[in-house]
Amino acid sequence: MVWILAQSGNGTPPSWTDEFHAFTSFHAVAVSVSIALIALICSLGRSWRGDARERRLRRSIGWLMFAFFAFSTVWRLTPGQFDLNESLPLHMCRVIGWVSVISMLTGGWRWRALTFYWGFGLSTQGFVTPMWSDGYASLNFWLYWGSHALISGAAAYDLFVLGYRPSMRDLRLAWAWGLVFVVIVIAFNQVAGTNYSYLGSGQYEGTSVVDFLGPWPRRATRIVLLGGLVFFALHIVATLVLRAIGALQDRQSPRESA
């Protein structure tokens, strides 16, 4: 990806303290730091796999995530921050956040499946086209990037450390619960006049892939179809890659003597 330096009106680069712009050096740093932290935690988890230290690490991360998402949910609902168009936990990424918390703390297969398909399939889009424009001096900046890093990190940890392997049952679950989510959010958006998860008639200021899906209500139908295709593509890619990695490990491991 080519990172373009955003300029302010007087031709000087905007302050990272106050402003964030997509496809800038600031964007590149935010994504790079997020990926580096995820890789570091996954590497540590793999080195402790099968050990009590890994279980403590996983539970510590799970409770850290719980505290983070609890704080962000309550903070957005406080009188000084509340905005009917934005504050309710009806954006898909905010729902995925809680799903990933339960996955890390319980290991239930349904939560693991949703964390994988919804987390990797949908939440990672926030790294590519961030919707917030606040700089790092704003709490919104840290809540946005922290939530996406934690969700993606939980999905990566489950895949590369805990050995999660997607199945067709998991894919069907992600499709089914995704449709339930869509129906609930569309109904709320229609009643309240909001645009949660881009499933309403409104428009956000930030640039997103959703901008190319047309106006409401055509956009909602295309989001559902595109989301289903993303889940299926993710399933195929993950299955093929993990199968190739397994075959490579089998060839590298010494054969047992007869």
Instruction: Write out pLDDT tens, residues 57-86.
Output: 999 999 999 999 999 999 999 998 999 988
The residue behind tokens 């709320």 is: 188
Give, in degrees to the nearest 5, the angle at Cα 95 between 202 and 53. Answer: 150
In-domain check, residue 255? no
Q: So what's the pLDDT on residue 254?
A: 59
In-domain check, residue 91? yes
In-domain check, residue 254? no
In-domain check, residue 18? no
**Strand partners for 19:** 134
Please state whether 198 falls in left (phi above 0), alpha (psi between -120 and 50) or beta: left
Phi, psi values for residue 134, rounded to 5°: -75, 145
Number of domains in the chain: 1
Q: Which residue range forms the structural domain that includes residue 228? A: 25-243
In-domain check, residue 49? yes
Q: So what's the pLDDT on residue 54?
A: 95
In-domain check, residue 13? no
In sequence order, what are the residues at sequence separation of 6 or more whose Cβ sits closer than 8 angstroms to the Cβ of residue 115? 96, 99, 100, 103, 151, 154, 155, 158
- Whole-prediction pTM: 0.86
pLDDT in tens, 141-191: 999 999 999 999 999 999 999 999 999 999 999 999 999 999 999 999 999
| Rounded Cα–Cα distance for residues 18 and 26 (Å) | 12
**Averaged confidence pLDDT in the chain:** 87
In-domain check, residue 9? no
In-domain check, residue 99? yes
Residues 195-201, mean pLDDT to the nearest whole number = 88
